[in-house]
Structure 1
Amino acid sequence: MVLLDVEGMKCGGCVRAVERTLQDQPGVQEASVNLVTRSAWLRLDPAALDPQQALEGALEALRSRGFSAQPRQSGVLSANAEPDRAWGWWNQWRQLMVALVLLLLSVLGHLAEAGTLSLPLIGTLPFHAGLATVALFGPGRSILRSGWAAAISGVPSMDTLVSLGVGSAYIASVVALVWPAVGWPCFFNEPVMLLGFVLLGRFLEERARRRTGRALKELAALQPSSARLVMADGSVRDVPVEMLRPGERIELLAGDRIPVDGVIEEGYSAVDLSSLTGEPLPVDAGPGTELSSGCLNLEATLVMEVRRVGRETALARIISLVEQAQARRAPIQGLADRVAGRFCYGVVSLALFTFLFWWLIGSSLWPQVLEVPVVLMDHGHGHGVHQSLGAAAQTPFGLGLQLAIAVLVVACPCALGLATPTVITVSSGLAARQGWLFRGGDVIERSAEIERVVFDKTGTLTLGRPLVEAVLMSDDPSRTIQLAASLEQTSRHPLAHALLQEAQRLNLPLLPVQDSRTVPGAGMEGTLADAPDPLRVGSLEWLRSQGVEWPAHQRDAVEAAQTGGQSLVAVSLGHRPIGLVAIDDRLRPDAVTALQRLRSQGLSLGMLSGDRRQAVERVGQTLGIQTDEMAWQLLPDQKLERLECWRQSQPVAMVGDGINDAPALAAADLGIAVGTGTQIAQDTADLVLMGDRLEALPEALGLARRTMRKIRQNLIWAFGYNLIALPVAAGVLLPGFGILLSPPLAALLMALSSVSVVVNALSLRLP
């Protein structure tokens, strides 16, 4: 997969042209283009062609169509690109200032022409002609050049429409000035106003668009530029982060951002993970703790061994996933892109039809449209030979020309092209800041359509590590734990780890044990230094086979404990039972709340597990999952069969740890991995929820639904604006109501339509 930075895209037609150009290249399997981030995501086919050769061919094809492109260092925002973007921003600002100064002079000229102001030269026809010429070949030059280049290459864009509009107005005015016999009014003020409003709209749009990528830049800013390298002699030196290599040691002071992935070797401190995982509380870090780049050391000095650097770090992989998510479009954008790709052809055809209709037919059918003042949507009245477009046109040819120009200017494929990618970009950035990684706009759309969420039990609904729940049938619970942990201290079994952890929690010292041995599938036995009787820890069945029996009055309670769904560890000294330790995998603290919130969103739930029936049913009862919505003791292929049954009637999401549940994650409509596993996201899961908060799941699905609502709002506005504005600009309301959409106002509305789409996308940031 390759991510390209593409320059020169202005509207949905450009997006369609770039996408089609890339898809036509040999060796390119898939291409998706984002107008907001001006990027293209490619999947190359290494079997069809050498990947490097295919990439070079794609770049050359784009350059031949007028779009310069270069590969992006995915996962690391290019520092070299920032000066270029800053220069582009300054150049755009400079062009806007020149255009607004010319617009102000044009307004002063109008006032002088009307007699409101008395200024020499200002207000004369040569003055307005000079302003129009400066506007076209000054701030408008880049638009004219880009528009005609796009037209010549066969992919007309928004610049093409603007170029045709302002060029037609300017040429018609020059003809009227040089050849007065044609009887046309001069409207040199139109190019000045059109370019001023177009550049103003694009400046506002670009300003809003830059805000959509703020979250990604904030992620990139989490990696510091330097690190404190610990030398062999123990001294510390500041070095650039890119010079670090795996195996080296760095020092982290309190308040330092962690620059690379690594493992703590020395020191204890609290570390804030919220920037990557969204976890609200810091974690305690000590020797052996793995930390990811971008986290914040809060309290004390740490020494860390470097494990992964550069694009291999967790932060770089997260940035890479977000970049891919922003580049991959949602299916709902397909219709808008298809329309936008043909939009310019349709607008030019409509403008030509409008010109011919009003020149040859319309003026004869409704002669009153000539010499009748326009009552609405005009920016002023004509003054002598210098008039406003469409205002009191005196000839059928002039009226047709003016309305055709208005059609060209009012058309806005930009809003169609921006409707979806702006929302996807904002949504992906917001999600990344919370530690939710969507793999693309298509994943966000699928997330909004999910109707059932199916969970794996172990490690998803539960913590994934056994812990001591209770001590049963014991006169001294602490003594029971101490004896069991002392015998199990050399074992690596998960149940032994639970016993040792509980002893550590209770501050119980471990007793010396002699001659300990493991009985496979049963338990362990050994002897204490001060007790000749054997100490046994294991299953009830094994202890009974060794002659250990509970008193008669406790046998019913022992049988009841065996049916409780927990793992029971029996402890005996000689033939005397000491107690039973109930060990279980605890539910995540927020599991109940998370599932309640999913139900409140109207989602059905389910649970599939390979664990035993009693444990699954106990978890299901706690979480309110019905018996027919869960299954137990399932093999991976049986999980797939159950998923397929549900998928036949509704879209299904599967939530798992991403490793044991990889087949189910891949088979579901939406695979969701919970945990700190960004590598999992690259392999099977469509959505990764970093950290340990299960409540992130309903929050992420809720964000997906809000995202799709914003996309639909934008598409309705973009289509609706053009469906209303184009007929009005073509003069549909002119015969009956004398209403005309003048080109300057058309240009302003066109700009505002694009800005409104971006602003609506930014409203996703609001709570």
Structure 2
Amino acid sequence: MAFKLDTIAFDKTGTLTYGKPKVIETKFLYQKSKQKARKKLLMQIIGVVESSSDHPLAKAVSQYIEKTTTSSNITLESVTETPGRGLQAIVRINDSETLDLLPDEKSSSTYNVFIGNVKWLQENNCVYPSHVSEMKASSTLRGWQKSGYSIILIGLSSQSSNGYILAQMGIADTPRPDAAKTVSELTARGIEVWMITGDNPVTAKTIAKQLGIKNVLAEVTPEMKAEKIKWLQRRGITVKPPNKFLQLFKGDTDKARRAVVAMIGDGINDSPALAQSDLPISISTASDVAIESASVILTRSTLTSLITLVTLAKAIIWRIRYNFLWAYLYNSLAIPIAAGVFFPIFKVGLRPELASLSMAASSISVVLSSLWLKRFKEPKF
């Protein structure tokens, strides 16, 4: 499959990047009145909710809040995670001196919390407070997206009111240093490279541009990744005749065929896409589920190992073909001689022990040819 590979699809977080994002920008949308106290309480709420998730972005937010806020009077009553969207939780504030966290609302001890991307907050009817310019807030988000940041919004509502977006966070993940070179080498070998991510299109295209990836599928939910792999397979690839001479005899032009697609991912959510692909690939730091779903594991966690994989696969397949050709030519000549086919004509034959030796030499030559692969050296960059 690695020899036939036409297309390779990369998951972004944890594959093209290190998967250790950090909060770079934060903006709280409170008025100046009691802003510090409200911000502290909201951060405690965010920290409690995000600590319940294993998502890389949630971990980044939890670590950020742990550095700035220590005490917490928040009880997490329930939490639900929607893959590719965000978290929904119910929290209770145990402090008797609760603050008015919501605009134009009295203080409450119980809140609904929504943490996730823009679509998730919209689906849960969260809006910006009246004192916040939605145009200005959206402009801030677009600026973060153009910088390659993943966006998280925090919404809050009481049991009897609509939700309000009270905080924005920009989170950045560092691309792997060898990612751009790997993409360049794969493209040079005629392999089409795609990036599949749940990030918004602006952030996804920014990261893709940094890495030299032209094909991007953004805002893809985990359950849709397998469908995107199917689409890449059905999309196929154009096959050109080997040369103009054969084209004249066959009388045909370019043909299309199903594409052979590899998928490389590291998370639990990538396992359906890995199973759907023709060549599932994972890295050593991936989740156990992803590793179990993979046919190939990059043990060094360097993406340049993909180039080694492709180069080694080609070397093996061509060595197999060479062995078949050599064995065919050798046996087509050695078997008739050993069997005495030419004895009536030339009066020349082989003694039985030499005939047996000639047949053994065929197998020995193929084994020695195969052992030549021990001289394979991985490409250097």
- Could you say which TM-score interval applies, normalised by the shorter chain? 0.5 to 0.7
**Contact 1:460-1:656 at 8 Å conserved across structures:** yes
2:164 is equivalent to residue 606 of structure 1 = no
Distance in 2 between residues matched to 1:498 and 1:543, nearest whole Å: 23
Aligned partner of residue 762 in structure 1, secondary structure: helix
| 1:153-200, Cα deviation, whole Å (9 max, x unpaired) | xxxxxxxxxxxxxxxxxxxxxxxxxxxxxxxxxxxxxxxxxxxxxxxx
Kindly provide the amino acid, as one letter, of the partner of residue 451 in structure 1. D
2:120 is equivalent to residue 561 of structure 1 = no
Distance in 2 between residues matched to 1:583 and 1:455, nearest whole Å: 20
2:320 is equivalent to residue 765 of structure 1 = no
Determine the structure 2 residue equivalent to 1:468. Answer: 22
**Contact 2:234-2:259 at 8 Å conserved across structures:** no
Which of the pair has the greater relative contact order for Cα pairs under 8 Å at 6+ separation? 2
**Correspondence 1:30-109 to 2 at 5 A:** none
Inter-CA distance 550–543: structure 2 relative to 1 (3 Å threshold): farther
| 1:534-561, Cα deviation, whole Å (9 max, x unpaired) | 6999789899744564899x76862533
Distance in 2 between residues matched to 1:528 and 1:548, nearest whole Å: 27
**Correspondence 1:254-653 to 2 at 5 A:** 446-464=1-19, 467-471=21-25, 488-491=46-49, 492-493=52-53, 494=55, 495-502=57-64, 508=67, 510-514=69-73, 545-546=128-129, 549=132, 558=140, 560-561=142-143, 563-564=145-146, 566-568=150-152, 581-627=169-215, 630=217, 632-633=219-220, 635-636=224-225, 638-647=227-236, 648-653=257-262
Aligned sequence identity (%): 27
Distance in 2 between residues matched to 1:751 and 1:691, nearest whole Å: 40
List gaps (5 residues or longer) in structure 1: 1-445, 572-577
Distance in 2 between residues matched to 1:626 and 1:637, nearest whole Å: 20
Aligned partner of residue 587 in structure 1, secondary structure: coil
Distance in 2 between residues matched to 1:696 and 1:526, nearest whole Å: 50
Distance in 2 between residues matched to 1:558 and 1:679, nearest whole Å: 37
**Contact 2:2-2:313 at 8 Å conserved across structures:** yes
Q: Cα distance, 1:454 vs. partner?
A: 2.2
Determine the structure 1 residue equivalent to 2:361. Answer: 752
**Contact 1:652-1:669 at 8 Å conserved across structures:** yes
2:327 is equivalent to residue 718 of structure 1 = yes
Distance in 1 between residues matched to 2:182 and 2:90, nearest whole Å: 37
Distance in 1 between residues matched to 2:27 and 2:262, nearest whole Å: 43
Distance in 2 between residues matched to 1:590 and 1:469, nearest whole Å: 23
**Contact 1:656-1:674 at 8 Å conserved across structures:** yes
Q: Cα distance, 1:567 vs. partner?
A: 1.0
Kindly provide the amino acid, as one letter, of the partner of residue 16 in structure 2. L
| 1:331-367, Cα deviation, whole Å (9 max, x unpaired) | xxxxxxxxxxxxxxxxxxxxxxxxxxxxxxxxxxxxx
Distance in 2 between residues matched to 1:468 and 1:642, nearest whole Å: 33
| 1:203-237, Cα deviation, whole Å (9 max, x unpaired) | xxxxxxxxxxxxxxxxxxxxxxxxxxxxxxxxxxx
Distance in 1 between residues matched to 2:172 and 2:287, nearest whole Å: 24
Inter-CA distance 631–563: structure 2 relative to 1 (3 Å threshold): closer
Inter-CA distance 755–503: structure 2 relative to 1 (3 Å threshold): farther
**Contact 1:525-1:534 at 8 Å conserved across structures:** no
Kindly provide the amino acid, as one letter, of the partner of residue 490 in structure 1. V
Of structures 1 and 2, the larger Rg is shown by 1
Determine the structure 2 residue equivalent to 1:443. Answer: none
Distance in 1 between residues matched to 2:133 and 2:91, nearest whole Å: 19
Kindly provide the amino acid, as one letter, of the partner of residue 646 in structure 1. R
| 1:683-706, Cα deviation, whole Å (9 max, x unpaired) | x54334446333332322222211
**Contact 2:182-2:306 at 8 Å conserved across structures:** yes
List gaps (5 residues or longer) in structure 2: 29-35, 80-86, 104-112, 156-165, 237-256
Aligned partner of residue 171 in structure 2, secondary structure: strand
| 1:558-607, Cα deviation, whole Å (9 max, x unpaired) | 25336536214579xxxxxx995411454344332322232232211223
Q: Cα distance, 1:639 vs. partner?
A: 1.9
Distance in 1 between residues matched to 2:141 and 2:93, nearest whole Å: 26
Distance in 2 between residues matched to 1:750 and 1:641, nearest whole Å: 48
**Contact 2:265-2:290 at 8 Å conserved across structures:** no
* TM-score (normalizing by structure 2): 0.59
Q: Report the count of equivalent residues.
A: 303
Q: Cα distance, 1:708 vs. partner?
A: 0.9
* TM-score (normalizing by structure 1): 0.33
